[in-house]
Amino acid sequence: MSILITGGTGFIGSHTVVELIEAGETPIIVDNLSNSKEIVLDRIQTITGIRPKFYKADLCDMTALDTVFAENPDIESVIHFAGLKAVGESVSLPLQYYYNNLVSTLNLCECMKKYGVKNLVFSSSATVYGDPAEIPIKETTPLGQTTNPYGETKKMIERILVDVHKPNPDWSISLLRYFNPVGAHESGLMGEDPKGIPNNLFPFVTQVATGRRPYLSIFGDDYDTHDGTGVRDYIHVVDLARAHLCALKRARKVTGVEVYNIGTGHGYSVLDIVKAFEEATGKKVPYKVVARRPGDVATCYADAAKAKEVLGWEAEFDMVAMCRDADRWQTMNPNGYDA
């Protein structure tokens, strides 16, 4: 049996493909390479010894997606990573974000229905909680106002999947709400490869530490947190990848729609990260404090108890591993996969 991995050459997808192969599963990747590169397949092969089957196809192209399912009747589950994810870009390109993220998911569900595939794990995000009503955030914490089209697509897709489940009660749908995925594969062969100037903290820090950028801009030090800078729940991408295996195992046994926070349960401020990174790598991270970034919340970290209790999953890698692995990837691949 095979598992279809949409967005499988992307950051989280590629790490999940490696973990799946190492667990003896057979992933099949579909990706349009809009935000990833085919060389990722070489890296997966180097790490695992296996080159997964790959389709370069856009999920918004129903004919192409149908072909993937038609040619692979053994697909029994889907992990749906594919989507556009840049918060700032989604504000300037709302139509592209709504179209891509929603149409791809609708097409995927249509194909799953047509080909009798009933297990779906979806990449959602802690962004659906908006400015969270309580900390730590539980799965039962009310969803908040999103501040950008990207976040709204996650909320809308969660709702769509809940509705899709109603007339298809034998489906198993896991909504995994990721907190802040960081780090890289310990081999240094796979990691995050953002286009242009990174929006997220970790890739920016690693690029500063390796000299590609002069300093980190810290977006505000006047939040109501222990040192005034924003607090987040950073999770190693390999831990996150493994959470998908646990969700998949459960999906094979139970039906329903289930929501899980996938985080460590620990909050780190931006200044905590700078310090941790410098200690873990011995490299300096010069920084300047600048104005707050619009839409940012002060604090966001998970109550990760449900994933531990029900999925039997919990994060294993600590902040030192996150920093060292991110730095190793950046040092070995100063220009990402283009190097």
Residues near ligand UDP (CB under 6 A) are 180, 199-201, 204, 216-219, 230, 232, 270, 293, 296
**Contacted entry of ligand UDP, ligand NAD, none for residue 123, CB cut-off 5 to 8 Å set by kind:** ligand NAD
Of 150, 234, 268, 301, the catalytic one is 150
Return the ∠ at Cα 85 (arms to 84 and 88), rounded to 5°.
115
Based on the number of CB atoms within 10 Å of its own CB, is 238 exposed (0-12), middle (13-18) or buried (19 or more)? buried
Measured from the CB atom, is 60 or 216 closer to ligand UDP?
216
32 binds ligand NAD (CB under 6 A): yes
Q: Which is nearer to ligand UDP, 27 or 203 (CB)?
A: 203
Which residue in 247, 240, 123, 231 sits closest to 183, CA to CA?
240
How many CA atoms within 13 Å lie on the side-chain side of 263?
A: 27
Q: How far is the CB of 282 from ligand NAD (least distance, A)?
A: 26
Q: Check residue 85 for interaction with ligand NAD (CB under 6 A).
A: yes
Active site residue 260: no
Q: What is the DSSP string of 18-38?
A: HHHHHTT--EEEEE--SSS-T
Cβ atoms of 121 and 247 closer than 8 Å? yes
Instruction: Give the orientation angle of helix 149-165 with respect to helix 104-115, to 10 degrees.
Output: 20
Q: Which stretch binds ligand NAD (CB under 6 A): 11-19, 224-232, 273-281, 304-312?
A: 11-19
Supply the minimum distance, in Å, between the C-beta of residue 323 and ligand UDP.
14
- Hey, which residues between 141 and 180 contact ligand NAD (CB under 6 A)? 178
The span from the CA of 120 to the CA of 320, in Å, is 33
| 327 class by beta-carbon count within 10 Å (0-12 exposed, 13-18 middle, 19+ buried) | buried
- Asked if 88 and 101 count as a contact pair (C-beta separation under 8 A), the reply is no
Cβ-based nearer residue to ligand NAD, 2 or 199: 199
Neighbouring CB atoms inside 10 A of 138's CB total 17
User: Which residues in the 115-134 window bind ligand NAD by CB under 6 A?
Assistant: 123, 125
Measure the CA–CA gap between 194 and 178, rounded to whole angstroms.
Answer: 18
Query: Which residue number is nearest to ligand UDP in terms of Cβ?
Result: 230
Of 20 and 271, which CB lies nearer to ligand UDP in the complex structure? 271
Rounded least distance, CB 4 to ligand NAD, Å: 11
Which of residues 255 and 293 has its CB atom nearest to ligand NAD in the complex? 293
Active site residues: 150
Footprint on this chain of ligand NAD (rule: CB under 6 A): 7, 9-13, 31-36, 58-60, 81-85, 100, 104, 123, 125, 178, 181
